Amino acid sequence: MTRNVSVTQRIQSATPSTPPSGSSILYPKSDGDWYTLDSAGNEKFAFSPFRWIYEDATVHVSTLQTPTTVVDQTTPSLAAGDYLLLAGFSWSYNNAFQDIIIDIIVDGTAFDQISKGNTMRAEAKDPDGAGFEGTGTDTRRPHNIEIPLTLSAGTHTIEIEKSSEGSGVEASMWDILLYLRRVA
């Protein structure tokens, strides 16, 4: 039997005709992503070649109460849909009684899941240690969140800003990973 080396499908500019009962079809659309359509006429996003990954191992240290930009990126052009942005980083703050404040900002709006004004605001608890890379502390704390986004077609800006609650206190973040993928 001769077998094909690929499933080659015509790019659809709109939802194709519904397949017969008991069948479903898989096809690319003009937005670059692949979709399925079942015999009930339900079209769903299947998968996308699109992935956007940003990494930065740099230790970013600032002591300012005004926000300092740590990340300022523009995504490639993407299809309209629902996305998840994984944001992971390590952080420290060189004071036990004040907060580090971090905002993850997409298209100018900070993700603020609990409506308190910031993406993350946390007291460090432990500023001890000799410090590394100017952080003033050996503390290494994790932060890993997934941010749901409904994005329009085109490019989008992703920024991270960081500030200190107290003037002159080292607020630090490093090993930043941003991973954006379409999920629906």
Question: How many Å separate Cα 75 from the centre of its chain?
Answer: 10
**59, 84, 110, 147: residue in contact with other proteins (rule CB under 8 A):** 59
Q: Does 172 bind other proteins (CB under 8 A)?
A: no
**15, 51, 74, 77: residue in contact with other proteins (rule CB under 8 A):** 51
**21, 66, 108, 142: residue in contact with other proteins (rule CB under 8 A):** 142
Cα–Cα distance for residue pair 3/63, rounded to 1 Å: 63
Q: Which part of the chain contacts other proteins (CB under 8 A), choosing from 4-12, 71-79, 103-111, 152-160?
A: 4-12
Q: Residues 47-65, buried b or exposed e (16+ Cβ, 10 A)?
A: ebebebeeebeeebbbbee
Instruction: Say if residues 162 and 173 touch (Cβ distance below 8 Å).
Output: yes
> What's the CA angle centered on 107, arms 52 and 160, to 5 degrees?
70
Q: Between residues 49 and 108, which has the closer beta carbon with respect to other proteins?
A: 49
Instruction: Say if residues 178 and 83 touch (Cβ distance below 8 Å).
Output: no
Site size for other proteins (CB under 8 A): 45
Which residues, in sequence order, are CB contacts of 6 under 8 Å at separation 6+? none
Build a one-symbol-per-residue string for 115-134: x at contacts with other proteins by CB under 8 A, - elsewhere: ----------xx-xx-----
Instruction: Say if residues 56 and 69 touch (Cβ distance below 8 Å).
Output: no
Q: Which of the residues 84 through 113 are near other proteins (CB under 8 A)?
A: 86, 88, 90
Q: Does 36 bind other proteins (CB under 8 A)?
A: no
Footprint on this chain of other proteins (rule: CB under 8 A):
1, 3-11, 17, 19-20, 23, 25-26, 28, 32, 34, 47-49, 51, 53, 55, 57, 59, 86, 88, 90, 125-126, 128-129, 138-142, 144, 174-175, 177, 179, 181
